[in-house]
Amino acid sequence: MKFVIAQMEHETNTFSPVPTPWESFGPNGAYLGAEAYRAMKGTRTPIGAFIDLAEKENAEIVTPVAGFAYPSGPVDPAAYDRFCDLICEEAAKGCDAIFLDLHGAMVVKDRTGDGEGTLLAKVRAVSPDTPIAVSLDLHANVTEQMVSNSDVIAGYKTYPHIDMYETGELAGSVLLRYLKGEVKPVMVWGNVPILAQTLKMNTDEGAMKDYANAARQVQRDGALAASAFGGFPMADIPQAGMSTIVITDGDRAAAETARDYILSVAWSKKEDFIWRDEPLEQAIAKAKLLGQAKQMADGPILLLDHPDNCATGATQDTMHVLKEALRQGMNDIAVGPIRDPEAVDILIKAGVGAQVTLPVGGKMDMPAINRKGEPMELTGVVRAITDGEYTITGPQFTGVRAMMGRTVVFSTDAADIVITERLQEPWDVGVFTSVGIDPTRKKFLLLKSRMYFRPVFLPIAKDAVYCDGVGVGSSDWTMFNYEHLRRPIYPLDDAFDAATGQNQTS
Protein backbone atom coordinates (compact mmCIF):
# COMPACT_ATOMS: atom_id res chain seq x y z
CA MET A 1 0.00 0.00 0.00
CA LYS A 2 1.02 3.60 -0.58
CA PHE A 3 0.03 6.40 1.80
CA VAL A 4 0.31 10.17 1.43
CA ILE A 5 0.96 11.80 4.82
CA ALA A 6 1.19 15.58 5.33
CA GLN A 7 0.86 18.35 7.89
CA MET A 8 -0.51 21.90 7.49
CA GLU A 9 -1.11 23.59 10.85
CA HIS A 10 -2.06 27.16 11.58
CA GLU A 11 -4.51 28.78 13.98
CA THR A 12 -5.45 32.07 12.37
CA ASN A 13 -6.42 35.07 14.48
CA THR A 14 -8.16 37.20 11.86
CA PHE A 15 -7.72 40.26 14.10
CA SER A 16 -3.93 39.82 14.30
CA PRO A 17 -1.59 42.18 12.41
CA VAL A 18 1.23 39.57 12.57
CA PRO A 19 1.81 38.25 9.00
CA THR A 20 1.96 34.51 8.17
CA PRO A 21 4.23 33.86 5.17
CA TRP A 22 5.62 30.47 4.08
CA GLU A 23 8.69 31.11 6.26
CA SER A 24 6.53 30.96 9.42
CA PHE A 25 5.85 27.25 8.86
CA GLY A 26 9.31 25.95 9.80
CA PRO A 27 12.95 26.97 10.26
CA ASN A 28 13.19 27.69 6.49
CA GLY A 29 9.52 27.39 5.69
CA ALA A 30 7.66 24.09 5.86
CA TYR A 31 9.61 20.82 5.56
CA LEU A 32 9.44 19.19 2.13
CA GLY A 33 9.60 15.56 1.00
CA ALA A 34 12.10 13.35 2.81
CA GLU A 35 12.97 16.28 5.07
CA ALA A 36 9.34 16.32 6.27
CA TYR A 37 9.57 12.63 7.11
CA ARG A 38 12.85 13.06 9.03
CA ALA A 39 11.57 16.10 10.95
CA MET A 40 8.26 14.56 12.02
CA LYS A 41 9.12 10.85 12.45
CA GLY A 42 9.29 10.04 16.16
CA THR A 43 7.49 13.22 17.32
CA ARG A 44 4.46 13.05 19.62
CA THR A 45 2.28 14.76 17.01
CA PRO A 46 -0.58 13.49 14.80
CA ILE A 47 1.74 13.23 11.79
CA GLY A 48 4.22 11.30 13.97
CA ALA A 49 1.41 8.85 14.73
CA PHE A 50 0.40 8.59 11.05
CA ILE A 51 3.99 7.70 10.11
CA ASP A 52 4.19 5.05 12.86
CA LEU A 53 0.88 3.48 11.78
CA ALA A 54 1.96 3.42 8.13
CA GLU A 55 5.27 1.78 8.99
CA LYS A 56 3.49 -0.90 11.01
CA GLU A 57 1.53 -1.67 7.83
CA ASN A 58 4.76 -1.76 5.79
CA ALA A 59 3.22 0.86 3.51
CA GLU A 60 5.18 3.02 1.13
CA ILE A 61 5.11 6.52 2.64
CA VAL A 62 5.15 9.82 0.76
CA THR A 63 5.39 13.03 2.83
CA PRO A 64 5.06 15.99 0.46
CA VAL A 65 5.02 18.69 3.16
CA ALA A 66 4.93 19.28 6.91
CA GLY A 67 4.49 22.78 8.30
CA PHE A 68 3.37 24.29 11.60
CA ALA A 69 3.17 28.03 12.22
CA TYR A 70 2.38 29.73 15.52
CA PRO A 71 -0.92 31.57 15.64
CA SER A 72 -0.90 34.88 13.77
CA GLY A 73 -2.89 36.76 11.15
CA PRO A 74 -4.39 35.30 7.93
CA VAL A 75 -2.05 33.04 5.94
CA ASP A 76 -0.33 34.40 2.84
CA PRO A 77 -2.21 32.95 -0.19
CA ALA A 78 1.03 31.94 -1.95
CA ALA A 79 2.04 29.86 1.10
CA TYR A 80 -1.39 28.24 1.20
CA ASP A 81 -1.34 27.43 -2.53
CA ARG A 82 2.06 25.80 -2.09
CA PHE A 83 0.70 23.48 0.62
CA CYS A 84 -2.35 22.60 -1.50
CA ASP A 85 -0.31 22.00 -4.66
CA LEU A 86 2.26 19.80 -2.90
CA ILE A 87 -0.42 17.62 -1.30
CA CYS A 88 -2.68 17.46 -4.38
CA GLU A 89 0.21 16.58 -6.72
CA GLU A 90 1.04 13.50 -4.63
CA ALA A 91 -2.63 12.56 -4.19
CA ALA A 92 -3.18 12.82 -7.95
CA LYS A 93 -0.38 10.31 -8.61
CA GLY A 94 -2.49 7.67 -6.89
CA CYS A 95 -2.32 6.17 -3.39
CA ASP A 96 -4.35 3.93 -1.08
CA ALA A 97 -5.03 6.48 1.67
CA ILE A 98 -4.29 10.06 2.69
CA PHE A 99 -3.53 11.13 6.27
CA LEU A 100 -3.56 14.86 7.04
CA ASP A 101 -2.46 16.57 10.27
CA LEU A 102 -4.45 19.85 10.13
CA HIS A 103 -5.47 22.48 12.66
CA GLY A 104 -9.01 23.34 11.61
CA ALA A 105 -8.86 27.11 12.11
CA MET A 106 -6.80 28.30 9.14
CA VAL A 107 -7.95 31.44 7.35
CA VAL A 108 -6.24 32.42 4.10
CA LYS A 109 -5.91 36.10 3.26
CA ASP A 110 -8.33 37.28 0.54
CA ARG A 111 -9.06 33.65 -0.30
CA THR A 112 -10.97 31.46 2.15
CA GLY A 113 -12.10 31.41 5.76
CA ASP A 114 -11.94 27.61 5.64
CA GLY A 115 -8.35 26.71 4.73
CA GLU A 116 -8.69 23.05 5.71
CA GLY A 117 -12.11 22.46 4.10
CA THR A 118 -10.92 24.07 0.88
CA LEU A 119 -7.76 21.92 0.89
CA LEU A 120 -9.81 18.76 1.50
CA ALA A 121 -12.19 19.63 -1.36
CA LYS A 122 -9.19 20.05 -3.69
CA VAL A 123 -7.69 16.72 -2.56
CA ARG A 124 -11.01 14.95 -3.05
CA ALA A 125 -11.35 16.48 -6.51
CA VAL A 126 -8.02 15.06 -7.71
CA SER A 127 -8.39 11.73 -5.90
CA PRO A 128 -12.13 11.13 -5.48
CA ASP A 129 -12.04 7.52 -4.29
CA THR A 130 -9.13 7.67 -1.84
CA PRO A 131 -10.03 7.46 1.87
CA ILE A 132 -8.88 10.49 3.88
CA ALA A 133 -8.17 10.66 7.63
CA VAL A 134 -7.74 14.03 9.36
CA SER A 135 -6.61 15.07 12.82
CA LEU A 136 -7.71 18.48 14.11
CA ASP A 137 -6.84 20.72 17.06
CA LEU A 138 -9.37 21.21 19.87
CA HIS A 139 -9.57 24.83 18.65
CA ALA A 140 -10.83 23.84 15.18
CA ASN A 141 -13.80 25.71 13.73
CA VAL A 142 -15.38 22.74 11.97
CA THR A 143 -17.17 23.23 8.64
CA GLU A 144 -19.43 21.16 6.40
CA GLN A 145 -16.73 21.31 3.73
CA MET A 146 -14.21 19.56 6.03
CA VAL A 147 -16.62 16.79 6.98
CA SER A 148 -18.05 16.09 3.53
CA ASN A 149 -14.58 15.86 1.94
CA SER A 150 -13.01 13.38 4.36
CA ASP A 151 -13.82 9.95 5.82
CA VAL A 152 -12.49 10.15 9.38
CA ILE A 153 -11.86 13.22 11.55
CA ALA A 154 -10.66 13.17 15.17
CA GLY A 155 -9.78 16.16 17.36
CA TYR A 156 -7.68 16.68 20.48
CA LYS A 157 -9.57 16.17 23.73
CA THR A 158 -7.12 18.11 25.91
CA TYR A 159 -6.08 21.74 26.37
CA PRO A 160 -3.20 22.26 27.00
CA HIS A 161 -2.87 19.72 24.17
CA ILE A 162 -1.20 16.60 25.52
CA ASP A 163 -2.99 14.03 23.32
CA MET A 164 -1.75 15.09 19.89
CA TYR A 165 -0.18 11.70 19.12
CA GLU A 166 -3.17 9.75 20.46
CA THR A 167 -5.50 11.82 18.25
CA GLY A 168 -3.49 11.00 15.13
CA GLU A 169 -3.42 7.38 16.20
CA LEU A 170 -7.21 7.34 16.62
CA ALA A 171 -8.00 8.94 13.24
CA GLY A 172 -5.36 6.84 11.46
CA SER A 173 -6.36 3.52 12.98
CA VAL A 174 -10.07 3.99 12.17
CA LEU A 175 -9.10 4.71 8.55
CA LEU A 176 -6.90 1.60 8.42
CA ARG A 177 -9.77 -0.53 9.71
CA TYR A 178 -11.95 1.01 6.99
CA LEU A 179 -9.32 0.18 4.34
CA LYS A 180 -9.28 -3.43 5.53
CA GLY A 181 -13.07 -3.64 5.35
CA GLU A 182 -13.49 -4.10 9.11
CA VAL A 183 -15.68 -1.01 9.67
CA LYS A 184 -17.85 1.39 7.67
CA PRO A 185 -17.34 4.84 9.25
CA VAL A 186 -20.38 7.12 9.26
CA MET A 187 -19.40 10.65 10.27
CA VAL A 188 -21.80 13.36 11.44
CA TRP A 189 -21.14 16.79 12.85
CA GLY A 190 -22.96 19.73 14.35
CA ASN A 191 -22.32 23.02 16.06
CA VAL A 192 -23.91 25.18 18.73
CA PRO A 193 -23.90 28.98 18.64
CA ILE A 194 -21.42 29.50 21.47
CA LEU A 195 -18.33 31.63 20.96
CA ALA A 196 -16.38 30.07 23.84
CA GLN A 197 -13.24 31.73 25.14
CA THR A 198 -9.96 29.86 25.14
CA LEU A 199 -9.32 30.87 28.77
CA LYS A 200 -12.35 28.73 29.65
CA MET A 201 -11.28 25.72 27.57
CA ASN A 202 -8.94 24.11 30.05
CA THR A 203 -10.13 20.50 29.86
CA ASP A 204 -9.13 19.85 33.48
CA GLU A 205 -11.87 22.01 34.94
CA GLY A 206 -15.42 23.26 34.68
CA ALA A 207 -17.75 22.98 31.73
CA MET A 208 -14.97 22.16 29.26
CA LYS A 209 -14.03 19.10 31.31
CA ASP A 210 -17.65 17.90 31.22
CA TYR A 211 -17.89 18.55 27.47
CA ALA A 212 -14.65 16.65 26.69
CA ASN A 213 -15.75 13.83 28.99
CA ALA A 214 -19.06 13.57 27.12
CA ALA A 215 -17.06 12.79 23.96
CA ARG A 216 -14.98 10.22 25.85
CA GLN A 217 -18.20 8.62 27.15
CA VAL A 218 -19.57 8.33 23.60
CA GLN A 219 -16.35 6.59 22.54
CA ARG A 220 -16.55 4.20 25.51
CA ASP A 221 -20.13 3.45 24.48
CA GLY A 222 -18.91 2.20 21.11
CA ALA A 223 -18.44 5.13 18.72
CA LEU A 224 -15.33 4.80 16.53
CA ALA A 225 -14.38 8.39 17.44
CA ALA A 226 -16.03 11.36 19.10
CA SER A 227 -14.53 14.83 19.27
CA ALA A 228 -15.73 17.88 21.23
CA PHE A 229 -14.25 21.06 19.76
CA GLY A 230 -13.99 24.30 21.70
CA GLY A 231 -13.37 26.26 18.51
CA PHE A 232 -11.17 29.30 18.01
CA PRO A 233 -13.09 32.49 18.72
CA MET A 234 -10.62 35.08 17.38
CA ALA A 235 -11.72 34.21 13.86
CA ASP A 236 -14.24 36.36 12.05
CA ILE A 237 -15.63 33.54 9.90
CA PRO A 238 -19.16 32.08 9.80
CA GLN A 239 -18.32 28.79 11.56
CA ALA A 240 -16.25 30.03 14.52
CA GLY A 241 -17.38 28.43 17.77
CA MET A 242 -18.10 25.09 19.40
CA SER A 243 -18.77 21.94 17.37
CA THR A 244 -18.75 18.16 17.62
CA ILE A 245 -17.95 15.26 15.27
CA VAL A 246 -19.05 11.68 15.94
CA ILE A 247 -18.14 8.60 13.87
CA THR A 248 -19.90 5.28 14.30
CA ASP A 249 -19.62 1.96 12.51
CA GLY A 250 -22.45 2.24 10.01
CA ASP A 251 -25.09 3.59 12.43
CA ARG A 252 -26.10 7.11 11.43
CA ALA A 253 -28.94 7.40 13.95
CA ALA A 254 -26.64 6.47 16.84
CA ALA A 255 -24.03 8.96 15.63
CA GLU A 256 -26.63 11.74 15.49
CA THR A 257 -27.95 10.94 18.95
CA ALA A 258 -24.44 10.96 20.38
CA ARG A 259 -23.59 14.24 18.62
CA ASP A 260 -26.72 15.89 20.00
CA TYR A 261 -25.89 14.64 23.50
CA ILE A 262 -22.34 16.08 23.43
CA LEU A 263 -23.56 19.42 22.05
CA SER A 264 -26.31 19.57 24.68
CA VAL A 265 -23.66 19.32 27.41
CA ALA A 266 -21.96 22.42 25.97
CA TRP A 267 -25.22 24.29 25.54
CA SER A 268 -26.45 23.57 29.06
CA LYS A 269 -23.27 25.07 30.52
CA LYS A 270 -22.76 27.93 28.08
CA GLU A 271 -22.27 30.60 30.76
CA ASP A 272 -19.19 28.67 31.93
CA PHE A 273 -17.42 29.18 28.62
CA ILE A 274 -17.26 32.95 29.04
CA TRP A 275 -14.33 34.59 30.82
CA ARG A 276 -14.91 37.77 32.78
CA ASP A 277 -11.94 39.97 33.57
CA GLU A 278 -11.59 42.37 36.45
CA PRO A 279 -10.29 45.85 35.50
CA LEU A 280 -6.50 45.99 35.09
CA GLU A 281 -6.06 48.54 37.89
CA GLN A 282 -7.85 46.24 40.31
CA ALA A 283 -5.89 43.14 39.25
CA ILE A 284 -2.56 44.93 39.71
CA ALA A 285 -3.66 46.24 43.13
CA LYS A 286 -4.50 42.66 44.13
CA ALA A 287 -1.13 41.39 42.90
CA LYS A 288 0.63 44.16 44.82
CA LEU A 289 -1.07 43.08 48.07
CA LEU A 290 -0.10 39.45 47.41
CA GLY A 291 3.48 40.65 46.86
CA GLN A 292 3.53 42.44 50.21
CA ALA A 293 2.38 39.31 52.02
CA LYS A 294 4.79 36.92 50.37
CA GLN A 295 7.99 35.53 51.88
CA MET A 296 11.17 35.03 49.88
CA ALA A 297 10.73 31.25 49.84
CA ASP A 298 7.19 31.56 48.48
CA GLY A 299 8.12 31.95 44.84
CA PRO A 300 6.95 34.73 42.52
CA ILE A 301 3.48 36.07 41.83
CA LEU A 302 2.55 35.70 38.17
CA LEU A 303 1.04 38.64 36.30
CA LEU A 304 -0.61 37.02 33.29
CA ASP A 305 -0.96 39.48 30.43
CA HIS A 306 -3.18 37.05 28.50
CA PRO A 307 -4.57 39.44 25.84
CA ASP A 308 -1.03 39.86 24.44
CA ASN A 309 -0.21 36.13 24.32
CA CYS A 310 1.56 35.33 21.05
CA ALA A 311 0.16 31.78 21.01
CA THR A 312 -3.20 33.48 20.44
CA GLY A 313 -1.82 35.57 17.58
CA ALA A 314 -0.97 38.68 19.61
CA THR A 315 1.94 41.05 18.93
CA GLN A 316 3.62 40.39 22.29
CA ASP A 317 4.72 43.99 22.57
CA THR A 318 1.99 45.88 24.41
CA MET A 319 3.15 47.64 27.57
CA HIS A 320 -0.09 48.40 29.44
CA VAL A 321 0.33 45.85 32.24
CA LEU A 322 3.92 46.89 33.00
CA LYS A 323 2.89 50.55 32.86
CA GLU A 324 0.15 49.97 35.44
CA ALA A 325 2.43 47.86 37.65
CA LEU A 326 5.04 50.63 37.70
CA ARG A 327 2.36 53.28 38.26
CA GLN A 328 1.27 51.40 41.38
CA GLY A 329 4.87 51.30 42.61
CA MET A 330 5.62 47.59 42.18
CA ASN A 331 9.22 46.46 41.88
CA ASP A 332 11.40 43.35 41.54
CA ILE A 333 9.53 42.29 38.38
CA ALA A 334 10.91 40.06 35.63
CA VAL A 335 9.09 40.74 32.37
CA GLY A 336 9.12 38.69 29.29
CA PRO A 337 9.58 38.16 26.63
CA ILE A 338 8.62 41.41 24.88
CA ARG A 339 9.15 41.28 21.10
CA ASP A 340 10.83 44.44 19.86
CA PRO A 341 13.56 43.95 17.23
CA GLU A 342 14.19 47.71 16.99
CA ALA A 343 14.92 48.02 20.72
CA VAL A 344 17.12 44.90 20.60
CA ASP A 345 19.17 46.49 17.86
CA ILE A 346 19.61 49.78 19.74
CA LEU A 347 20.53 48.04 23.01
CA ILE A 348 23.03 45.66 21.40
CA LYS A 349 24.74 48.62 19.72
CA ALA A 350 24.90 50.35 23.13
CA GLY A 351 26.48 47.24 24.69
CA VAL A 352 26.40 45.55 28.09
CA GLY A 353 26.63 48.05 30.95
CA ALA A 354 25.39 51.01 28.91
CA GLN A 355 22.64 53.20 30.30
CA VAL A 356 19.99 53.89 27.66
CA THR A 357 16.68 55.74 27.41
CA LEU A 358 14.47 54.41 24.60
CA PRO A 359 10.92 53.53 23.61
CA VAL A 360 10.25 49.87 24.43
CA GLY A 361 7.44 47.76 22.90
CA GLY A 362 4.30 49.07 21.22
CA LYS A 363 5.82 48.91 17.75
CA MET A 364 2.89 47.19 16.02
CA ASP A 365 -0.47 48.79 15.37
CA MET A 366 -3.59 46.66 15.85
CA PRO A 367 -6.07 48.10 13.33
CA ALA A 368 -8.65 45.34 13.90
CA ILE A 369 -9.15 46.53 17.49
CA ASN A 370 -8.56 50.20 16.68
CA ARG A 371 -5.38 50.46 18.71
CA LYS A 372 -2.13 52.09 17.70
CA GLY A 373 1.09 50.69 19.11
CA GLU A 374 2.01 52.55 22.32
CA PRO A 375 5.72 52.27 23.16
CA MET A 376 6.81 52.98 26.73
CA GLU A 377 9.76 55.32 27.31
CA LEU A 378 12.14 53.60 29.74
CA THR A 379 15.58 54.31 31.16
CA GLY A 380 17.74 51.39 32.21
CA VAL A 381 20.95 49.44 31.82
CA VAL A 382 21.78 46.68 29.32
CA ARG A 383 22.43 43.71 31.63
CA ALA A 384 22.94 40.89 29.15
CA ILE A 385 22.98 40.11 25.44
CA THR A 386 22.45 36.53 24.13
CA ASP A 387 21.66 34.69 20.91
CA GLY A 388 18.26 33.85 22.44
CA GLU A 389 18.64 30.10 22.07
CA TYR A 390 17.87 27.57 24.77
CA THR A 391 16.67 24.00 25.09
CA ILE A 392 13.25 23.50 26.67
CA THR A 393 13.49 21.46 29.87
CA GLY A 394 9.80 20.70 29.95
CA PRO A 395 7.41 19.34 30.92
CA GLN A 396 5.97 20.41 27.53
CA PHE A 397 7.98 20.43 24.27
CA THR A 398 10.85 18.89 26.26
CA GLY A 399 14.14 18.87 24.38
CA VAL A 400 12.97 21.24 21.65
CA ARG A 401 15.46 23.99 20.77
CA ALA A 402 13.79 27.40 21.21
CA MET A 403 14.99 30.44 19.28
CA MET A 404 14.00 33.89 20.48
CA GLY A 405 16.35 35.70 18.07
CA ARG A 406 18.93 38.11 19.50
CA THR A 407 17.88 38.84 23.07
CA VAL A 408 18.65 41.58 25.59
CA VAL A 409 17.99 41.93 29.31
CA PHE A 410 17.21 45.59 29.95
CA SER A 411 16.99 46.52 33.64
CA THR A 412 15.22 49.53 35.07
CA ASP A 413 15.02 50.27 38.80
CA ALA A 414 11.89 48.15 39.10
CA ALA A 415 12.02 45.56 36.32
CA ASP A 416 14.32 43.22 34.40
CA ILE A 417 12.82 43.09 30.91
CA VAL A 418 13.66 40.32 28.43
CA ILE A 419 13.42 41.82 24.94
CA THR A 420 13.60 39.51 21.91
CA GLU A 421 13.69 39.78 18.13
CA ARG A 422 11.18 36.97 17.57
CA LEU A 423 7.84 35.99 19.06
CA GLN A 424 8.28 33.54 21.89
CA GLU A 425 5.61 31.91 24.03
CA PRO A 426 6.77 31.79 27.66
CA TRP A 427 6.38 28.01 27.81
CA ASP A 428 9.60 27.28 29.66
CA VAL A 429 11.70 28.79 32.47
CA GLY A 430 14.41 29.02 29.78
CA VAL A 431 12.99 32.36 28.61
CA PHE A 432 14.49 33.70 31.87
CA THR A 433 17.22 31.26 32.91
CA SER A 434 18.90 31.39 29.47
CA VAL A 435 19.53 35.11 29.96
CA GLY A 436 20.69 34.83 33.57
CA ILE A 437 17.45 35.61 35.44
CA ASP A 438 16.37 33.19 38.17
CA PRO A 439 12.55 33.38 38.03
CA THR A 440 12.14 31.76 41.46
CA ARG A 441 13.91 34.71 43.12
CA LYS A 442 11.76 37.49 41.66
CA LYS A 443 8.78 38.98 43.48
CA PHE A 444 6.73 39.20 40.27
CA LEU A 445 6.88 37.56 36.84
CA LEU A 446 5.00 39.41 34.12
CA LEU A 447 4.23 36.76 31.47
CA LYS A 448 2.48 37.19 28.13
CA SER A 449 0.76 33.89 28.83
CA ARG A 450 -2.72 32.43 28.65
CA MET A 451 -2.52 28.68 29.25
CA TYR A 452 1.03 27.38 28.85
CA PHE A 453 2.28 28.95 32.11
CA ARG A 454 0.31 26.27 33.93
CA PRO A 455 2.68 23.28 33.76
CA VAL A 456 5.84 25.42 34.00
CA PHE A 457 5.43 28.58 36.07
CA LEU A 458 2.44 27.74 38.27
CA PRO A 459 4.37 25.05 40.22
CA ILE A 460 7.11 27.56 41.17
CA ALA A 461 4.71 30.45 41.88
CA LYS A 462 2.99 31.62 45.05
CA ASP A 463 0.00 32.90 43.11
CA ALA A 464 -1.23 34.02 39.69
CA VAL A 465 -3.30 37.06 38.72
CA TYR A 466 -4.94 37.48 35.29
CA CYS A 467 -4.29 40.98 33.97
CA ASP A 468 -6.57 42.47 31.34
CA GLY A 469 -3.95 44.22 29.23
CA VAL A 470 -4.30 45.21 25.60
CA GLY A 471 -3.89 42.85 22.65
CA VAL A 472 -5.60 40.99 19.82
CA GLY A 473 -5.87 37.93 22.10
CA SER A 474 -8.21 39.78 24.46
CA SER A 475 -11.19 38.03 26.02
CA ASP A 476 -13.17 41.26 25.92
CA TRP A 477 -15.51 40.66 22.97
CA THR A 478 -16.55 44.31 22.87
CA MET A 479 -13.12 45.11 21.36
CA PHE A 480 -13.77 43.01 18.25
CA ASN A 481 -15.96 43.83 15.32
CA TYR A 482 -17.29 40.54 13.93
CA GLU A 483 -18.62 40.99 10.40
CA HIS A 484 -18.68 37.45 9.00
CA LEU A 485 -19.52 35.34 12.05
CA ARG A 486 -22.92 33.61 11.90
CA ARG A 487 -25.44 35.32 14.14
CA PRO A 488 -27.05 35.03 16.55
CA ILE A 489 -24.36 33.54 18.77
CA TYR A 490 -23.86 33.43 22.53
CA PRO A 491 -22.72 35.61 24.29
CA LEU A 492 -22.84 38.31 21.58
CA ASP A 493 -26.60 37.87 21.07
CA ASP A 494 -29.32 36.25 23.05
CA ALA A 495 -32.16 35.77 20.57
CA PHE A 496 -32.04 32.22 19.24
CA ASP A 497 -33.44 28.77 19.78
CA ALA A 498 -32.84 28.32 23.46
CA ALA A 499 -34.17 24.78 23.41
CA THR A 500 -31.29 23.15 21.56
CA GLY A 501 -29.09 25.99 20.44
CA GLN A 502 -28.11 23.86 17.50
CA ASN A 503 -27.76 25.78 14.28
CA GLN A 504 -26.12 23.44 11.80
CA THR A 505 -25.82 19.68 11.58
CA SER A 506 -25.27 17.07 8.91
Q: Which residues of the shown chain bind Zn ion in the complex (CB under 5 A)?
A: 137, 139
Nearer to Zn ion, 139 or 200 (CB): 139
In whole angstroms, the minimum distance from the beta carbon of 103 to Zn ion comes to 7
In whole angstroms, the minimum distance from the beta carbon of 356 to Zn ion comes to 38
Amino acid identity, position 348: I
**Exposure string for 480-500, b = 16+ CB within 10 A, e = fewer:** bebeebbeebbeeeeebeeee
Nearer to Zn ion, 267 or 452 (CB): 452
Element (H, E) at 169: helix 164-179
Nearer to Zn ion, 407 or 449 (CB): 449
Nearer to Zn ion, 7 or 502 (CB): 7
In whole angstroms, the minimum distance from the beta carbon of 313 to Zn ion comes to 12
In whole angstroms, the minimum distance from the beta carbon of 222 to Zn ion comes to 28
In whole angstroms, the minimum distance from the beta carbon of 2 to Zn ion comes to 31
In whole angstroms, the minimum distance from the beta carbon of 108 to Zn ion comes to 18
Instruction: Using alpha carbons, select from 462, 456, 474, 460 the residue that is nearest to residue 402.
Output: 456
In whole angstroms, the minimum distance from the beta carbon of 138 to Zn ion comes to 5
For residues 448 and 315, give the distance between their C-alpha atoms in angstroms, rounded to a whole number. 10
- One DSSP character per residue, 315-329 reads -S---HHHHHHHHTT
Partners of 302 in the beta sheet?
445, 464
The sign one gets for the Cα dihedral 433, 434, 437, 442 is negative
In whole angstroms, the minimum distance from the beta carbon of 201 to Zn ion comes to 8
Nearer to Zn ion, 137 or 308 (CB): 137
Pairing of strands 2-9, 65-68: parallel
In whole angstroms, the minimum distance from the beta carbon of 403 to Zn ion comes to 21
Residue 438, number of CB atoms within 10 A of its CB: 10
**Exposure string for 263-293, b = 16+ CB within 10 A, e = fewer:** bbbbbebbebbbbebeebeebbbebbebbee
Nearer to Zn ion, 207 or 343 (CB): 207
Amino acid identity, position 376: M
Nearer to Zn ion, 160 or 238 (CB): 160
- Coil, strand or helix at 453: coil
Nearer to Zn ion, 313 or 439 (CB): 313
For residues 358 and 441, give the distance between their C-alpha atoms in angstroms, rounded to a whole number. 27
Pairing of strands 504-505, 185-191: antiparallel
CB-based closest residue to Zn ion: 139
Instruction: Using alpha carbons, select from 4, 180, 195 the residue that is nearest to residue 101.
Output: 4
Nearer to Zn ion, 139 or 383 (CB): 139
